[in-house]
Amino acid sequence: MTTSSTHSHQVSQQHLLGPAVEQARYDRGAQVLAAVDGEGGQSVVDALADIAPALAHHVVAHAFGDVYARPGLTHAQRQLVTLGMLTALGGCEAQLEVHVNASLNVGLTPTEIVEAITHTAVYCGFPKALNAIFVAKRVFAERDLLPVSAPAA
């Protein structure tokens, strides 16, 4: 089987997983979502219920049940990657807010979050980094974490 036909076969097989496997993916995702995002993640899922319940399901089952649940990176490491990607994409301020909160939930410090966002300016530009840092500032203010200390030398 060629790579493309193997991929097509795998995609078609995903539709044959059955309700028990799909429910297991969703349940695993719901546990990871709660551990990482807390109430913020469930708020996103709830907000999608009356317009895009299938999208909510995919966020939980795929993003958190399949990807976030993978071994190899800690939740904190995954959040650093996520912060960098959302900053680089730009226009993702609502998702950045959820993930700055999630980053704090999994043990990143405000200083580490600021450093990660500052680092992105080199690769994606100052406007995107500034937009992201102001989202972080808003989250820090809501959680009474301002001012943020400079990193130790």
Could you say which of 70, 101, 135 is where a domain stops?
A: 70
Say what the pLDDT of residue 33 is.
96
Question: Does 62 share its domain with 103?
Answer: no
Question: Does 92 share its domain with 109?
Answer: yes
Counting the structural domains of the chain, the total is 2
Question: Does 44 share its domain with 57?
Answer: yes
Say if 2 falls within a structural domain: no
Question: Does 64 share its domain with 80?
Answer: no
Question: Does 66 share its domain with 103?
Answer: no
Say if 21 falls within a structural domain: yes
Question: Does 80 share its domain with 59?
Answer: no
How far is C-alpha 69 from the geometric centre of its chain's CA atoms? 12
Within 13 Å of residue 68, how many CA atoms lie on the same side as its CB? Answer: 29
Question: Tens-digit pLDDT profile for the chain (153 aa)?
Answer: 454 444 444 444 455 578 899 899 999 999 999 999 988 888 999 999 999 999 999 999 999 999 999 999 999 999 999 999 999 999 999 999 999 999 999 999 999 999 999 999 999 999 999 999 999 999 999 999 999 998 887
What range does the domain containing 122 cover? Answer: 73-144
Alpha-carbon distance of 47 to 100, in angstroms, equals 19
> Percentage of the chain with pLDDT > 90?
80
Say if 5 falls within a structural domain: no
Say what the pLDDT of residue 12 is.
42
Say what the pLDDT of residue 16 is.
58
